[in-house]
Structure 1
Amino acid sequence: MMESYPKITVVTPCYNHGRFIEQTITSILDQNYPNLEYIVMDGGSTDNSVQVIEKYQKHLAYWISEKDRGQSHAINKGFHHSTGEVMTWLNSDDCVEPGSLHLIADHVRRYPKIGAFVGHGRIVDTTGREIYFRKAGELTFERFCQWLDGGDFLQPSCFFRRSAWELVGPLDEHTHIAFDVDYWLRMAKCGVQFQAVEALLSTSLSHGTAKTTAFRHHMVIDTAVVVIRAGGEKYVRKRLDEMATQFSYYEANYNMIINHPVVKAVLPLVRLFIKPAARWKDVTPWW
């Protein structure tokens, strides 16, 4: 019976990911989960993304292609249209592993007091070679504050109850990279209980246009910002000190490295953070 399967909402935000989104979509549809609500929010793509989405539109609960204010805004819009008891988002270059939705549904039924479930995840390169595997470890607020030092998990492997989303509210649309970390911290601070699922639930793709690859330095800073905002400054201070020292080296060797593409991408942040580590403790963060 359908009521024995909790409705699972999956929202996929997309922008110019026509090369990848079909694999993402089929990874969800091939779950053959009987109570699925799949929503795709395209941000006005100019490649073939819309054509791919249209190919599968009869299987979608809702989809639209229109300009948005970024990834977190697109996800929030998708959740606004959702009705599922269980919720997650799956980026348009990620995939869920076979059987994941059924496994999550089983955990949702068995553990009614748990608000969020986190499984293992992995990252592969464009050849399919595994380059990172992350098990679901300790899932507490304190551990999430140590996100930059091994307290992390992979977002596509996390599913949460609608009750948790209603308690915490929408994603922060002003945080463009670490908005997932911000959300887990907010959930934990609100008392949402997390539980590990001892199974591989998702695979993420690392490629040249992946946001977290192109802006990994920005990602570290963005994560530090949300941890500090949550009250976990002591957990990221050492990492910020180390970055300040590195950026001082970059400044001293400016002419040699200025044309490196990574440096160009984060140069405005580099200039903000160029301070000797010894002086860093006396600086008031701009955020």
Structure 2
Amino acid sequence: MPKLTVVIPAYNSMKYLPETLESVLQQTFTDFEVLIIDDGSTDNIIQWTSEIADPRVKLISQKNQGVSVARNTGIAHARGEYIAFLDADDLWQETKLEKQVRCLDENPKVGLVHTSMALVDCHGKSTGRIMTSFVEGEVWKELVESNKIACSSVMVRRCCLDKVGGFEPNLHFAEDWDLWIRISAHYPFAVIKEPLYYYRQIPNSLSKNLALLEESFRFVIEKTFRDVPQELLYLKNRSYGYAYLCLGWKALQSYDKDYKRAIQFSRSSLVYYPQLRYSREYIRLSLATRALQLFGNNGYNNLLEIVYALRRQILKLTAIRSFKITDKFTSSV
């Protein structure tokens, strides 16, 4: 029996899936199985997986039912004590599984461990941005405000899923947020503050996804606060505030960027939670929206490339400086 099961839902994902799987097979921890859940794809995924020589990789095909059902299919077939989720277009740093397995082994009360993440563009090139998470311990209150945990960064104990259930099958967005909230009501979380997961930013259709995302956020929030004690209901408005802030960013991250909708969503966030006006994310969103309004899509994209280049240079200089300090300390010892 493998120690760990990696679940990868895939729907017409062959553009990125081979690179994603390679990042799994190159892990320093090797006692795992990989379940690729073909969710009704029409590409050549069946032929491709039939040519994979590694016996740890298995394909499970089903009719198209969405990412939640696909992950639940993987959970149902998983043999591992631990389960890690990976989207078909994302990547892992090679020590991710080793460090997370060690964390769960050494902390038996922890139900879920996640990591920080680095953002890459659709070509896998670093944007220079690293999102460090500090969500650990008893995190329910933090999580109901906003989802601070990326699905592809997560490793969870199988027993936690047996207790709270899997992903909500009626959700196509925010399904991971709903699950983390349910798990956090029973188990403490841990975090590895290293970018062991690379999130690939792929622009999607604005008109299709924003409406579904807004509906999904509302579903999760209303479900979560249905039976919450009166003294915790103040968190509900905060939750809606952060949800609309997220929607504002999504309006800028799609192919058909729409600064007017971004402004509308950002204003809605303040209606629910006025204190967001002073948050870093709200200020960043306001600046980004203004830039799109002034420069248009092409100018905005060019500006992003400049920002990404500056970030990469800063990360490079920081890494060099860190190496020199470590080398100096080692030499002195």
TM-score range, shorter chain: 0.7 to 0.9
Cα distance change of structure 1 residues 212 and 52 upon mapping to structure 2, 3 Å threshold: farther
The letter of the residue matching 2:149 is F
Q: Deviations over 1:79-99 (max 9, x none)?
A: 111111111211100111111
In 2, the alpha carbon distance for the partners of 1:12 and 1:206 equals 18
User: In the alignment, what sits opposite 2:107?
Assistant: 111
Does the aligned pair in 2 maintain the 1:13–1:43 contact within 8 Å?
Answer: yes
**1:32 and 1:55 mapped to 2: Cα distance?**
23
Query: Which among 134, 137, 152 is matched to residue 134 of structure 2?
Result: 137
Q: Distance in 1 between matches of 2:73 and 2:95?
A: 27
Structure 2 match to 1:225: 219
Which runs of structure 2 are paired with 1:117-156 in the superposition (5 Å)?
117-127=113-123, 128-130=125-127, 132-139=129-136, 140-147=139-146, 152-156=148-152
Change (3 A) 1:113 1:54: same
Partner deviation per Cα, 1:124-150 (whole Å, 9 max, x = no partner): 112413264221213411111121xxx
Q: Letter of the aligned partner of 1:228 in structure 2?
A: E
In the other structure, the counterpart of 1:184 is: 180
Q: Deviations over 1:171-191 (max 9, x none)?
A: 1000111000000011112x1
* Cα 1:237/1:204, change in 2 over 3 Å: closer
Q: 1:43 aligned to 27, 39, 42, which one?
A: 39
1:99 paired residue among 95, 98, 106: 95
Q: Which residue of 1 aligns with 2:237?
A: 234
Preserved CA contact (<8 Å) 1:114 1:193: yes
How far off is 1:215 after superposition?
2.2
1:7 Cα shift?
0.6
Over the matched positions of the two proteins, sequence identity in percent amounts to 23
**Which aligned pairs between 1:65-76 and structure 2 lie closer than 5 A?**
65-76=61-72
- Aligned amino acid, residue 36 of structure 2: V
TM-score, length-normalised on structure 2? 0.66
Distance in 1, matches of 2:167 and 2:198, equals 22
Work out the CA distance in 2 between the residues paired with 1:86 and 1:141.
Answer: 21
Contact 1:214–1:262 (CA under 8 A) maintained in structure 2: no
Distance in 1 (alpha carbons) for counterparts of 2:65 and 2:51: 26
| Matching residue of 1:18 | 14
Give the Cα–Cα distance (whole angstroms) in 2 for the partners of residues 24 and 12 of structure 1.
Answer: 9
Which residue does 1:199 correspond to in 2? Answer: 194
Give secondary structure in 2 for the equivalent of 1:59. coil
- What secondary structure does 1:83 align onto? coil
TM-score (norm 1): 0.75
* 1:48–1:7 distance in 2 versus 1, CA, 3 Å: same
Relative to 1, partners in 2 of residues 1:16 and 1:156: Cα closer, same or farther, differing over 3 Å?
A: same
Alpha carbons 1:18, 1:49 under 8 Å: kept: yes
Question: Which residue of the partner structure matches residue 62 of structure 1?
Answer: 58
Aligned residues: 250
Output the CA distance in 2 between the equivalents of 1:243 and 1:152: 11
Partner residue in 1 for 2:285:
none
**Structure 2: unaligned runs, 5 residues or longer:** 226-234, 249-254, 273-333
Note closer, same or farther for the CA distance 1:238–1:206 as it changes in structure 2 (3 Å cut): closer
* Structure 1: distance between partners of 2:192 and 2:244: 35
Per-residue deviation at 1:167?
Answer: 1.0
In 2, the alpha carbon distance for the partners of 1:87 and 1:215 equals 28
Aligned pair in 2 of structure 1 residues 16, 110: CA closer, same or farther (>3 Å)? Answer: same
Distance 1:214 1:104, change over 3 A: farther
RMSD over aligned Cα atoms: 3.4
Alpha-carbon distance between aligned partners in 2 of 1:242 and 1:154, rounded to the nearest angstrom: 17
SS at match of 2:9: strand
* Aligned residue type for 1:95: L
Aligned-partner Cα distance in 2 for 1:242–1:156: 22
- For residue 48 of structure 2, give the secondary structure of its aligned residue in structure 1: helix
SS at match of 2:149: coil
